[in-house]
A = this chain, B = another copy of it.
Amino acid sequence: MPSYKLTYFDCRFYGETTRLIFVASGTEFEDILLHMDHKDFYVLKSTGKLPLGQVPILEVDGRLMCQSRAIQRYVAREVGKYGSSNGEAATIDEVTETCDELLENAAPWLYREQDPEKKAAIRKEYLEEKGPHRLSYLEKKLQSNPSGYFAGSSLTLADLAVFNILDILNDNMPEVITAYPSLLALKAKVAADEKIAKYLTTRPKTEM
């Protein structure tokens, strides 16, 4: 069994999907949480250890990986959560890349933009356009697969990535996700998974 050590901020954003893959597959990993005040991040960065000066990073038996999406796919393949065919993997990629866009577009109104007026305008655009555009695509995509999961007949990286963005949106802009019954059913199903449910009660409560 390889030794996995994930380092990321004490929040969900770009690191949580990987944590959820570990949890859902019952794979042990060391979960190193950097405080959101960035102090321990800057200490880590000053060592020159971070390949791109960013987190998350994943160490697997001493090998260091960077780039959040590369990490989540690596782990998903490793534990069998990346579909069972190239077609299923492609569906998972289409879905996770749409989740990445939903996350990227949320960053300005969640934390990057400081000017209250600009922040409000970006938030409004997300609520009315950017969010619904991608969420309705995901809703349709999920409905096209009779199993209630995005790819094949069991839980994959795609479902966990969607769970994560819905979970973050639910805490910060709940009104944007109410119109998507299939996505909400998936969110509830993932949350009810025995291993995930246990993890959700113990993980730190974070804003994003």
Q: A53 — nearest CB in chain B belongs to which residue?
A: B133
Contact segment of A24-32, A85-93, A183-191:
A85-93
A65 within 8 A of B: yes
Tell whether A45 is near chain B: CB-to-CB under 8 Å: no
Interface size on A, residues (CB 8 A): 26
For the complex, is A97 an interface residue (Cβ under 8 Å from B)?
Answer: yes
Within 8 A of B (CB), among A24-75: 51-53, 63, 65-67, 69-71, 73-74
Does A137 contact B51, Cβ atoms closer than 8 Å? Answer: yes
Complex: A8 Cα to B116 Cα, angstroms: 38
Contact B93 A52 (CB under 8 A): no
| A58 to chain B: closest residue by CB | B90
A117 CB within 8 Å of chain B: no
Q: With A87-B63, A98-B67 as known contacts, state yes or no: A74 contacts B52, CB within 8 Å.
A: no
Q: Which of B63, B74, B93 contacts A89, CB < 8 Å?
A: B74
Interface contact B137-A52, CB-CB below 8 Å: yes
Structural contact, A97 and B67, CB atoms closer than 8 A = yes
Shortest distance between the CB of A73 and any CB in chain B (Å): 6
Within 8 A of B (CB), among A113-135: 133-134
By DSSP majority rule, is chain A's interface helix, strand, loop, or mixed? helix
Contacts of A94 in B (CB 8 A): 51, 65-67, 70
Q: Are B52 and A98 in contact (CB under 8 A)?
A: yes
Indicate if A77 sits at the interface (CB-CB under 8 A).
Answer: yes
Give Cα distance in the complex from A86 to B71, angstroms.
Answer: 11
Q: Does A78 belong to the interface (CB within 8 Å)? A: yes
A77→B90 CA distance, assembly (Å): 10
Q: Are B65 and A89 in contact (CB under 8 A)?
A: no
The chain B residue sitting closest to A68, CB to CB, is B97
**A77-B89 in contact given A53-B133, A133-B53, A137-B52 (Cβ < 8 Å):** yes
Supply 18 A–B pairs (Cβ within 8 Å), ascending by A.
Answer: A51-B137, A52-B98, A52-B133, A52-B134, A53-B133, A65-B90, A67-B93, A67-B94, A67-B97, A67-B98, A70-B93, A70-B94, A71-B90, A73-B89, A73-B90, A73-B93, A74-B89, A77-B89
